[in-house]
Amino acid sequence: MVLDSKKAYKNLKKKGFEDSKDHSNDHKYLEFHYKGKMILYTKLSHGSKKDLNNYLIKQMATQCKLSKQDFADLVNCPLSAEKYIEKLIEIGEIE
């Protein structure tokens, strides 16, 4: 599995992730907030690679509390922000 990193960044922002202001400049950090509280974050490298490989997809999926397939669906848009929140509630990450 390979995902386009620019598309991932853009679509995660559409799903409610926000750029973090509190992390280092060597990566793009995205935070997910729910009801005004920061729930989780993930990071993307500023590197020149256009694609996220299996290893990076797995890391980002873990950070987002999803399976690799669910993370791919979140990035590629079949998984809506609302459904993502439902999944986070189901696994007890948010109430």
**Other residues' Cβ atoms within 10 Å of the Cβ of residue 30:** 24
* Sequential DSSP letters for 14-38: HTTEEE-SSS-SSEEEEEEEETTEE
- Report in angstroms the alpha-carbon separations of 18 from 9, 13, 90: 10, 6, 22
Query: Residue 15: pLDDT band by 50, 70, 90 thresholds?
Result: very high
pLDDT at 95: 84
Report the alpha-carbon distance of residue 25 to residue 15 in Å, rounded: 23
Whole-structure pTM value: 0.86
63-94 residue pLDDT tens: 999 999 999 999 998 999 999 999 999 999 99
